[in-house]
Amino acid sequence: MNKHFTDSRYYLARAAEHARLGVTDALEGPTTRVRALLGRDDPDPEPSRLEGVLAEATALEHRAVVRTRGTVDSVQERLVAGRSSESDGDR
């Protein structure tokens, strides 16, 4: 019985998504005309594929730099801690 509810929820979600897409498509023309009459153009044009890839690459590079710096800091702290414990043992 649980499988039936799962299936129903899946198909209901698909139907809702298709309905949303249909309404968006049907209202695209009137929405464009109203925006033109009001003097408002599309405020946020969708980024091109190239811009999206560049943004992802930049974000990935930033994350790599942050992780690398964190790792280097951690290793330096361990080295300093190890050296101080060795010097305490030599005394």
Return the closest-CA partner of residue 68 out of 56, 57, 76.
76
Residues 51 and 27 in one domain: no
Per-residue pLDDT tens digits for 59-75: 999 999 999 999 999 99
Q: Does residue 1 share a domain with residue 18? A: yes
Which residue has 């050296």 as its token pair?
83
Are 55 and 33 found together in one domain? Answer: no
Residues 57 and 85 in one domain: yes
Single-letter code of the amino acid located at 81: A
* Range of the structural domain that residue 14 is part of: 1-43
Angle, CA 47 vertex, CA 60 and CA 32 arms, to 5°: 155
Whether residues 1 and 27 share a domain: the answer is yes
Statement to judge: residues 33 and 60 lie in one domain:
no
How many domains is the chain partitioned into structurally?
2
The pTM score is: 0.42
Q: What is the pLDDT of residue 91?
A: 53
Q: pLDDT value at position 46? A: 78
The answer to whether residues 10 and 3 touch, using CB atoms and an 8 Å cutoff, is: no
Of 12, 28, 43, the residue at which a domain comes to its end is 43
Using pLDDT thresholds of 50, 70 and 90, give the confidence band for residue 42.
low
Max CA separation in the chain (angstroms): 84
